[in-house]
Amino acid sequence: MLEGFGAILIAMGAVFFVAGTVGLLRFPDIFCRLHALTKADGLGLALIALGVALLAGTAGAAFRVALVWFFVAIASATCSHLIARYARHGAGGVP
Amino acid sequence: MRATTPLRESAPARGHLPPRPDILAPHICADGPEPTDTNAVPALRPGPRRGRWHRLRRWLGAVLVLAVLLGMLTGWRAESLVFGLPAVVLGAMLPLLLPRVPGWRLSLRGALAFALWFAVQSVRGAVDVARRAFAPDMGLRPGFRPYPLTLPQGAPRVMFANTITLLPGTLCAEIEGDMLIVHMLDTRMALEPELAALEGRIRALFALPPNPELCQ
């Protein structure tokens, strides 16, 4: 039961990662691409982390997975802000 | 273990003395209340002692957080302390070397409400962008919009900027002084009501007074 639920969560997370990648390829400029990467991949990682934490079973492993999610979430928002700022300042030739 | 001397001079900024100009940078609006005031308690002790106690408490807090992290990561094994103990002690000193930011505290109820809302919004944002990615007509009309910041400097602003990036269709692209530059996937969408609502939630999270109408 718990395994099935965890597997469903991981599969849903993978769908969001695919969506983020499709957005990265299809969206017209760097800023729109950042939207796809930060939002879709962020939720994808959260779902996969939740699924893995359910499958892992022990509290220590779940805590480590939660830490991974937490630091990636902060880093992803900060990175997208930095990339957007760099692109806005006319770092010429960024597609 | 106490902090090193170069940091001592920044301590009085915590009390009711005038803020150091190099800490509260030019971004701060001239007529708004000073951010440290929102959390400062009346100075019961003379400045230097209060500052020293405050730094010690900050350091001990960091030691506690890092020690718990280390313990959880290593499964509380004693031999991990060989490298872990120096890492925790030195790591806890890093925040003391960084420039001081205005103090802040969290409201527990605000944090719980925010966490729930944050989860719902990140799902909304991700579903929105995933739908656009797969849709034949992506429905994009990208563009930038300015939004005036009224939150105090430091953690509330950082939280605001990072959360905007998770909301559907918005991305915090740049902060220019007291102006936030937001990139929108579809500029036909309403921006102000969403961001004003988010601002209210950030205020609740950090136990700040509800919108005092500064800088406007």
B188 close to B145: Cβ distance less than 8 angstroms = no
Provide the pLDDT confidence category of residue B184 given band limits of 50, 70 and 90.
Answer: very high
* Sign of the torsion formed by the C-alpha atoms of B197, B198, B199 and B204: positive
User: What is the residue-averaged pLDDT of chain B?
Assistant: 76
Which tokens go with B167?
């909301």
Task: Report the alpha-carbon distance of residue A62 to residue A52 in Å, rounded.
Answer: 8
How would you label B7-19 residue by residue, b for 16+ Cβ within 10 Å and e otherwise?
A: beebbbbbbeeeb
User: How close, in Å, is residue B146 to chain A by CA atoms?
Assistant: 14
Select from B73, B122, B138 the Cβ nearest to the Cβ of A42: B122
* Every domain of chain A and the residues it spans: 2-88
What residue segments make up the domains of chain B, in order of their start? Answer: 5-97, 108-205
Spatial distance between the Cα atoms of B148 and B180, rounded to a whole number of angstroms: 6
Produce one character per residue of B22-32: b if its CB has 16 or more CB atoms within 10 Å, e if not.
Answer: eebeeebbeeb
User: Of the candidates B133, B162, B183, which has its C-beta nearest A84's C-beta?
Assistant: B183
Give the pTM. 0.73
Q: Give contacts of B140 with chain A, Cβ < 8 Å.
A: 27-28, 32
Give the ipTM: 0.87
> Residue-wise pLDDT tens for chain A (95 aa)?
888 999 999 999 999 999 999 999 999 999 999 999 999 999 999 999 999 999 987 888 888 899 999 999 999 999 999 999 999 887 654 44
Distances (CA, A) of B209 to A1, B35, B175: 46, 12, 23
Paired tokens of A20: 């983020």
Question: Can you list the pairs that B192-197 forms with residues at least 24 positions away whose Cβ atoms lie under 8 Å?
Answer: B192/B147, B194/B167, B194/B170, B195/B147, B195/B164, B195/B170
- Closest alpha carbon within chain B to A60: B72
